[in-house]
Chain A
């Protein structure tokens, strides 16, 4: 099958790749670009393990053709920490509040929460639950994930207010 020449930005880095038109974004990320943070947990876009941020929206990269990402700006879990290695508030909070166990859903969950907190910087617990309902976790029962996202929101808001 003829391959397409694709260009996009991943975690601030410009990348070029060749991919068949049918190739999914998750496979290009994982197998061609060695970005293995996003995972594959289902075939039907229900589990959210493959969640990445594309042009400012959460997408399930198992349901996006790589071709659709041409020219896009993509952020994955690997791109959330600051360039100096300082972890994002969400990454800290997930550890602090025991928001993960096997870790398989975690990259998608945190990447989704990263966008959620930009859509709604001060979510209630109920809003967090709805906001992450496209991401399944089999280990934690979500309770500590909700706590972690709430705590990260508070920290981000506090540092925003301090800066203002």
Chain B
């Protein structure tokens, strides 16, 4: 009991700091329909923009006639590439060192590409005007298959790059070639593969999918011509970077641009990039002098804004006969679509794909990634994962299973045998990453015990016998995945986007009455930053989380930061929050020493106060110190209690986890049921377990969607055949199983509070666990690998190919 009557436990509880299941402060507005999303914004005189889009995958634009549209009452403007050319705005830079057409310049390169932008009084008139614009096209042969991008007779897609022998990431060997990226020791890997007792080889395709947040992309641009100020509200996962890009593109000084990300209805990577809709809205607002709103519909979202994956990965894995992995080689053909608009740190055109040695101690590895153009939408964003990490994780986790079949070993046993051991951390992988911390054996053991792995394998043996005897038409599959992520980009020495170092920031002001506001360079899209960052701070500075406002997303008020994606908020901005908090505490300590008339060193921190060592009844609470900061600071000290931290992380963080999935497959229909899914996550220090569990549930459901049904389905002409929620699979509550969550805690040694980030782990680990389970169901019948998605049709086709079906 302290001198003011509250027990230490009561004071800690009052803070709702680290580790508590604090209820979300965001929920009050969202449950009452009082969220503030971009389409909710209505400004006086606001107009509405809409696009004419290409119906073709590849075509020459011969003419555009906008006369009829301009005559329609209520239509204010129609923009085409020719209108943007004098402003040099018909192309914009992408985040990957390429350019992308804002409005199609003579050619369209994918279905849904932006051709003309109509501005009208309301969205109905805008849609009418879109119909009245006549575009004459000459259809060209479309390039769908990335395997054919670099053939001699492939159509050249990018006239603007024709003949250029080098690009942003090195030499180009074909007009449809973007880059070749290489990492690792080719010779050592060759040697390991040649000398190996066993080599398994497989083509693993991670199909093109789409993040498809429930809210589509959009913005409202408002140019105040009198003051020369541009304000843009939009679905931006990186508002500060958008401001810088907007300034560079438009020539408007950066201090006269204000970017605001209001509430965002999910992002998952889809809202990282800069899209033509933003540029056109800004131009239209500048030209017309009134606010212009542009909101995608769902078809536009699926057709034109950033997709994810589309990695065609050929792997070779070498091992001894008793299952010791000796080498790994991977060649990736990466389909980037018509423009290279990946959102990766500059030096990493294939993101952090080189984390593909996974959780295993592999002595030699070599990776090449070849990016090519096709007549598909641009993108290649990190859909609920760090940059290309889910591709890497899927690759290695499938390869391990493929190798296990060949070795006739249990896949869990093979994993355990090759794990990086606890004592090897910090561990430098063959491809150059320094893993910060891990305890893989403990996590896998806990997972296997929790699901009763041995018993499940027994049950599977009985199931297979019964199937062979014709007593059942169902097959059981067990999938294990043990993933290691690399998140929290990242150290400025390695990581920048458009030259902007990938630090992040937090600025704190403590008010005289002992409450505070913290502003960050990140932006929540559902992750509940307002709840969890207040918890970090509560523990650091002893002010209850309920007395701390967390604000993000307004570039006029928040400190500069690179935004929220790649699980970077907790590892980077979370660290900045803790560090800024420590500056506040350090100043408070000096004030306390002055008030208590002792030396700083004679004080110790006690939950929400400084007390005199050995005399705990003499103390000053943070609330008292906050007030004193405004009237009784030591001589020579500036008044006030504020701090800012720009945190450049020394390393990435490496969350990991053990997932086990059990499926039952009806052979005659292909219907695959997830009977059980157990997810153990180790994300280091846990800030709010309730929110972690929610993140895991959501990420696993997105993994289910990808593994079981999502695929952007382009035909030979470049038509996207499933650009609506009728055809593009998003699981409902009926298809979604109940998820079991669990954890171990291995703090990050270099993060101020030991946290690693979790939002993307379940997607990274979930896809391979489900896919491994489906493949495992057929493993005893000779199947090595079946490509995703494992929808009913494909699973049934696999059964048919294995001659298991009745017909």
Contacts and interface: CB of A to CB of B under 8 A. Distances in A.
B214 A101 contact: no
Interface in A39-55: 39-44, 46-47, 49
A12 to B, nearest CB: 15
A39 B37 contact: yes
A138 B730 contact: yes
A140 B30 contact: no
B623 interface: no
Interface in B495-513: none
A49 B35 CA distance: 13
Contacts of A40: 39, 295
Contact of B37 (A43, A91, A104, A134): A104
B215 A39 contact: yes
A20 B124 contact: yes
Contacts of A34: 42
A143 B33 CA distance: 21
A98 B693 CA distance: 10
Contacts of A5: none
Interface stretch (B396-404, B521-529, B599-607): B521-529
B726 A44 contact: yes
Contact of A98 (B24, B42, B730): B24
B807 interface: no
A105 B733 contact: no
Contact of B739 (A22, A37, A143): A143
B124 A102 contact: no
B514 interface: no
B700 interface: yes
A81 B214 CA distance: 25
B733 A138 contact: no
Which of A20, A30, A41 is packed against the most chain B CB atoms within 10 Å? Answer: A41
A105 B214 contact: yes
B527 A101 contact: yes
B508 to A, nearest CB: 25
A56 B98 CA distance: 54
B730 A103 contact: no
Per DSSP, chain B at the interface is loop
Contact of A101 (B698, B736, B738): B698
Contact of B697 (A103, A128, A143): A143
Interface in A85-108: 87, 91, 94-96, 98, 100-107
B33 A36 contact: yes
A10 interface: no
A1 to B, nearest CB: 8
Given A136-B730, A140-B694, A94 B42 contact: no
Contacts of A81: 32
A137 B42 CA distance: 26
Which of B28, B527, B694, B734 is packed against the most chain A CB atoms within 10 Å? Answer: B694
A41 B526 contact: no
Interface string B512-537: 00000000000001111000000000
Given A36-B40, A78-B32, A91-B31, A98 B213 contact: no
A145 B699 CA distance: 15
A132 to B, nearest CB: 5
A96 B31 CA distance: 11
Contacts of B32: 37, 77-78, 80-81, 87, 91
10 contacts: A23-B124, A36-B39, A40-B295, A44-B724, A77-B33, A91-B32, A100-B27, A101-B695, A103-B26, A138-B214
